[in-house]
Structure 1
Amino acid sequence: MPDKSSSAKAPSITRESVGGDPDYIAPTFPIGPFVKHKSNPILTPNPEYDFESSYLYNAAAIVLDGKVFLLYRAQNAAKASSIGLAWSEDGVNFTRLDHPVLTPTEPWEHGGGVEDPRVVRVNGVVYMTYTAYDTVKARLCLATSTDLVHWEKHPPLFSDWEEVEVTVSGRHAIRRGFTKAGAIFPEPGLDGKYTMLWGESFIYRAESEDLIHWTTHPFDEWFATGVHLWENRLLEPGPPPIRTKDGKWILVYNAATTGGGRFRSNQYSVGQMLVDYTDLEAGPVARLEQPCIEVDQDNEETGQVDQVVFCEGLVQFKGQWLLYFGQGDSELGVAVATVV
């Protein structure tokens, strides 16, 4: 059974904490193959604490001071989301903080809450993109921290955005003010600016000089959209991109389909694409033809949302790649690949 151990206090993290695995080896494209861990789900809702009493899934991951830390989406019986914190010595067995570290406090968060974090650490500061949801619109937001517990929020990033949405039926619709899913490169590009890949139905580009204030490219300059059948409805960045041995970058992303072949309507999968940071205008260099993670477990087939695997956290830790993914929007699993 998944461990439900908890603590009133988190390990001490500061700006001086050491990030990453000391024996880190840069990957080649693609990372994998991934195998789902036999202990899945590794985290499930804990009814002892209201904030995570109903659902627990979609976790960002980061390695600090020799531990894996997860920032995960938790929901109570009212389906209001908050962000919880957990940590582990082995990447599989976790202790949780007994209270959330990010809760809905702003008007654009009331009703739905704060959800789906991605994290990147630059110069000792952790930048967390997350989705604020007021039950009507999703808004991409940003928060910063140095200790993973106390966070400073910043306003929604792209409030005037308009895009084309691909519906479950395959029809196209205009969606206004709906923004999600920001994956930030952990280092600046050649122009000295940082880049964020973001979006849900398409993947877009945004740039920043300070990692706080972001300017996005217009819709018609999108970075990527679906190519394969299993990604023809939705494309959404996962964890921050990871640099390869030859200086390219790997973006793990989430996709959904209108259905066909072995893929059912609105089935989610996890893929990987290769990115040239020096030429983002060209779009992806390559992508996997088949998903690296697919729905094949009971708690992925059926959950709060059926047919879902969804990744927001990937770290290298003690000779393994650990890819954390939501199962059926209800529980959290991990898939493992050997570092080579």
Structure 2
Amino acid sequence: MKLKLLLFFSVIAHLAVAQNTDWSLKGFSKPKENPILMADSSYVFACPMTNTSVKWQKADVFNPAAIVRNGKVYVLFRAEDIPGTKIGFRTSRIGLAVSNDGIHFTRRKTPVLFPAKDEFSKYDNPGGCEDPRIVQRADGTYVVAYTAWNRDVARLCIASSKDLVHWKKHGPAFGKAYDGKFVNIWSKSGSIVTKMENGKITATKIKGKYWMYWGEKGVNIATSDDLINWTPLVETNGELKFVINTRAGKFDSDLTEPGPPAILTDKGILLLYNGKNANGDTRDMKLPAETYSGGQVLFDVNDPTKVIERLDECFIKPNLPHEMRGQYKAGTTFIEGLVFFKQKWFLYYGTADSMVGVAVKNGL
């Protein structure tokens, strides 16, 4: 009898401390059509920087943003041009593809965001424009946060558009904040907070400001009045504020990097993010070393810097052959695009820095 009671109370105690995940987006599955976008050397572009024709999608196509427009899904994808060179030493350009079903896409022939002979070439040439995240403003304007890579410093930059094809570059997101204090820091991966009303996702303000989670090794946070110029939050000593960091023994033991635009829910602010597993004693032993997988964290709407809950386990990870084959062979599901389309969630991600994949979840 005593043994039975001990077992009973042990089960009750376990249930009491079990993680509450009602706030998270669960139940994604990968359709058989994966991968949905791959490299294609048939696309040719007249590069304004070199005055030559380049096969701008020849090497790899990956790391997509996504938005719904006029009843279709549009994906902004990163394409690299020259195979056989190491990571970071190609030129990246951002292309555009459209789909009626969220899975089968038709690509535009030329890129929409790329290095050009303009005032911003010092930031994005020769490495290019990388890893976009896109939101729509209430007035219909699209705003993309992307990485400008000059092969020296990666800078989070902003561009805007009315039609997804013609983009106006605005330069570094932190160019004006604190008299330019953070303009030359390594900055990436801007996830702007959005809300969904009547099935449409748009950027939203909280306490009169737009908010953006960003960063790479840990997640930082910034605010804006216009979605163009951003001010990072700092500690009392002037150093950047971190809202989450890496965790020893878990899937995000080496890196935490924001994914798609965060979403305001009735539970709080939901951020889907990318976690990289460490290579060593601090890694998650259930995953291969250096694997990129997806996590979720919930922030307080009254204080977007405060964590309410955070998943202990990744909700998406590399488990298909092409997700562990390519530029990054350790395995990658690098999430960047999330849309609600035809009563389903479509989550778009890069695989091994080489292809584009999608995972789908039915209903809200």
The answer to whether TM tops 0.5 is yes
- Distance, in Å, in 2 between the alignment partners of 1:336 and 1:229 is 25
Counterpart Cα distance in 1 of 2:68 and 2:162? 14
* Match runs of 1:253-264 below 5 Å: 253-258=273-278, 259-264=283-288
Match of 1:209 in 2: 225
Number of the residue aligned with 1:232: 253
Q: Secondary structure at the match of 1:180?
A: coil
More moved, 136-145 vs 254-263: 254-263
The alignment partner of 1:107 has SS state of: helix
Runs of at least 5 residues in structure 1 that lack an aligned partner in the other structure: 1-27, 163-175
- Asked if 1:335 is matched to 2:350, the reply is no
- SS of 1:274's equivalent in the other structure is strand
Q: 1:119 aligns with which of 125, 128, 134?
A: 134
Report SS of the residue matched to 1:223: strand
Which structure: larger Rg? Answer: 2
**What is the count of residue pairs matched by the alignment?**
298
The CA deviation at 1:265 is 2.4
1:128–1:220 Cα change, 3 Å: closer
Question: Contact 1:203/1:224 (CA < 8 Å) preserved in 2?
Answer: yes
TM-score by length of 2: 0.78
Q: Is the CA contact 1:158–1:179 (under 8 Å) kept in the aligned structure 2?
A: no
The residue that corresponds to 2:327 in the other structure is 304
What is the root-mean-square deviation of aligned Cα atoms in Å? 1.7
In the alignment, is the contact (CA less than 8 A) between 1:311 and 1:325 conserved in 2? yes
1:101 aligns with 2:125: no
Does structure 1 residue 279 correspond to structure 2 residue 303?
Answer: yes
Q: Cα offset for 1:136?
A: 2.0
Amino acid across the alignment from 1:315: V
Of 206, 211, 219, the residue aligned with 1:189 is 206
Q: How many Å separate the matches in 2 of 1:264 and 1:198?
A: 25
Whether the 8 Å contact between 1:37 and 1:333 is mirrored in structure 2 is: no
Asked if the contact 1:34–1:335 (Cα under 8 Å) also holds between the matched residues in 2, the reply is yes
Q: Is the 8 A contact 1:238 1:254 kept in 2?
A: yes
| Mapping of residues 1-340 of structure 1, within 5 Å | 29-49=23-43, 50-77=55-82, 79-105=90-116, 106-122=121-137, 123-158=139-174, 160-161=181-182, 177-185=185-193, 186-190=203-207, 192-218=208-234, 219-227=239-247, 229-244=250-265, 246=266, 248-258=268-278, 259-282=283-306, 284-306=307-329, 307-340=331-364
| Distance in 2 (alpha carbons) for counterparts of 1:93 and 1:177 | 38
Q: CA deviation at 1:194?
A: 0.7
User: How far off its partner does 1:33 sit?
Assistant: 1.1
Q: Which amino acid aligns with 1:203?
A: V
The percent identity for this pair of structures is 40
Q: 1:220 offset after TM fit, Å?
A: 4.9
- 2:24 and 2:37 map into 1 onto residues whose CA distance is 27
Go from structure 1 to structure 2 and tell me whether the alpha carbon gap of 1:271 and 1:109 turns closer, same or farther (over 3 Å shift).
same
Question: 3-state SS of the aligned residue for 2:305?
Answer: helix
Which aligned segments of 4 or more residues in structure 1 are displaced greater than 3 angstroms? 158-162
C-alpha separation in 2, matches of 1:121 and 1:238: 16
Q: What is the CA–CA distance in structure 1 between the aligned matches of 2:223 and 2:105, rounded to whole Å?
A: 35
How far residue 323 of structure 1 moved from its aligned partner, in angstroms, is 0.4
SS at match of 1:36: coil
Q: Equivalents in 2 of 1:88, 1:293: separation in Å? A: 23
Consecutive unaligned residues of structure 2, counting only runs of 5 or more, are: 1-21, 44-54, 84-89, 176-180, 194-202
Kept in 2, the 8 Å contact 1:272–1:288? The answer is: yes
Separation in 1 of the partners of 2:213 and 2:185? 17
Kindly indicate whether the alpha-carbon contact (under 8 Å) linking 2:173 and 2:228 is maintained by their aligned counterparts in 1.
no
Does structure 2 conserve the Cα–Cα contact (< 8 Å) formed by 1:32 and 1:338? no
**SS of residue paired to 1:254:** strand
Structure 2 CA distance, aligned partners of 1:324 and 1:210? 26
Which gives a bigger RCO, structure 1 or 2 (Cα 8 Å, sep 6+)? Answer: 1
When normalised by structure 1's length, the TM-score is 0.84
Could you tell me whether the CA contact under 8 Å between 1:203 and 1:235 is conserved in 2?
Answer: yes
3-state DSSP class of the match of 2:206? coil
